[in-house]
Amino acid sequence: MNKLLVAIALATVTLPAYAALKDGDTAPDFSAPAYLAGKPFTFHLADALKTGPVVVYFFPAAHTSGCNLEAHLFSQAIDRFKALHATVIGVTAGNTDQLADFSRETEHCSGKFPVAADPGAKIAKQYDAILSMKPEWSNRTSYVIAPTGSIAHVYSNLNPNQHVDETLKAVQALEAK
């Protein structure tokens, strides 16, 4: 019985989820309490878009295995995003009380990009990025938002391994236009 439950759980993790917002839709504007290298500030999407594209990646919860990996992968690639004038922000509704530590820990964000708290998953709901099995948390969905405020790319998959590659390619495509 336990092996069956583990198999079902693993199958669920590798299945893609589908976001309702599509390329070309207007990205919902938001402001949220955030942390960069443990320091609090308020993130404003509209302000970030003034300097270039924004990668908004939703993740279920700080200090969970997939989210730790995803944050680490974004931190490793952050210089490539910055070279394209892109801002990266992680947004979560889960374990928001742990974001200050999560934002500075070397095995996660390494203080290289901010993470924002989404209590009650209000932002995630606007972006149709709710985790179906735990609706008070965000799904693992990444958006690339063009400086015009339109969604340039959406990638939704509970497996964290491809989010950086997917969003980096989309930011590069915006740069090429």
Q: Give pLDDT, residue 43.
A: 98
| pLDDT score at 175 | 86
Q: All domains of the chain, ordered by start, with CATH? A: 2-176 (3.40.30.10)
Phi first, then psi: give them for residue 122, nearest 5 degrees: -65, -45
Angle 173-129-156 from CA coordinates, rounded to 5°: 45
Write out the chain's pLDDT in tens, 177 residues.
Answer: 444 333 334 434 444 444 578 999 999 999 999 999 999 999 999 999 999 999 999 999 998 888 999 999 999 999 999 999 999 999 999 899 999 999 998 788 889 999 999 999 999 999 999 988 898 889 999 999 999 999 999 999 999 999 999 999 999 999 887
Which helix (H) or strand (E) segment holds residue 4: the answer is helix 2-14
This prediction has a pTM of: 0.88
